[in-house]
Amino acid sequence: MDSDEWKSRVVRTASPLCPKCESTKLTMGACAVGAKTVHQELVCEKCTHEFTALFVLIGYYDGLPDT
């Protein structure tokens, strides 16, 4: 699956998935935070595919998230 299809499916389902086998069993690795982006390394537990998710700053909200 290409990057645009991956992004569409992750946004639609609110769950990251492996772009190779579509598994949702992912292990998160290192995370690099920039001024406007976050790069998150992920490894699929099912097929061992390694990839990096790129997140972009799109806005903000007041207050802190509920935990």
Give pLDDT tens digits for 34-60: 888 899 999 999 999 999 999 887 888
Torsions phi, psi of 11, nearest 5?
Answer: -65, -45
**pLDDT above 90 for 61:** no
Nearest-Å Rg of the Cα atoms of the chain is 13
* CATH fold for the domain made of 3-56: N-terminal domain of TfIIb (2.20.25)
| pLDDT for position 1 | 86
Partners of residue 43 on adjacent β-strands: 27, 50
Tokens 């790129």: give the residue.
54
Q: What is the pLDDT of residue 56?
A: 85
- Residue 61, class by beta-carbon neighbours within 10 Å (0-12 exposed, 13-18 middle, 19+ buried)? exposed
pLDDT at res. 67: 61
Domain ranges of the chain: 3-56
pTM: 0.76
DSSP bridge pairs for 27? 43
Q: Each residue of 1-45: pLDDT tens digit?
A: 898 998 899 889 888 999 999 999 999 999 999 888 899 999 999
